[in-house]
Structures are given as C-alpha cells and as structure tokens.
Amino acid sequence: KSIADAPAPFKWPFIGTLPDFLSRGGVDKFAEVHESMYREFGPVYGMSILGDDEIVVCDPVVFGSILRQEGKFPIGAAE
C-alpha cells in the first residue's frame, strides 16, 4: 500500500481535514483527537491541515518497517 491509500477524514480544498480536527477537540484536546482518529481509521491514517499532508502511524511494527526502509540517513522534520 502507498501513503495515498491511508484512510483519512474528508479533505476539503485549502483547509484539508481541519474541520474534522477541530470537531474532535482541536489543539486543546490533541491526545483525544488522535485517540478518536485511531478508533475510527485504525493504526495508520492521514491528516491534512492547511495544505500540510501527514501520515500518522500508531503501530510500532509499521513504524519500524518504515524506518528500516529509510536507509542510513532518513528524511524527516530535521530538514
């Protein structure tokens, strides 16, 4: 499967999944938002906030397989 196959809430133009994020509690209830999305979409799901597309991985086995595919110098937030 590819990243594009990850389940996610409805994605609106420009604002992405922001309405869904806010309806689940927003920044004030960040942990509850992700717990709710995990229950609805499973251990791997997508989000898009104002054009910033993300994949959230909650399964350590999946996370480990992703890291092993990245090679010696993974690409990430440190760029």
pLDDT surpassing 90 at residue 29: yes
pTM here?
0.79
Q: So what's the pLDDT on residue 20?
A: 96
Residue 72, token pair as written in the block: 């010696």
Which tops the pLDDT comparison, 28 or 4?
A: 28
pLDDT surpassing 70 at residue 79: no
User: How many Cβ atoms are within 10 Å of 64's Cβ, its own excluded?
Assistant: 11
Q: So what's the pLDDT on residue 67?
A: 80
pLDDT surpassing 60 at residue 78: no
- Residue 19: C-alpha distances to residues 13, 43, 64, 75 (Å): 11, 21, 31, 29
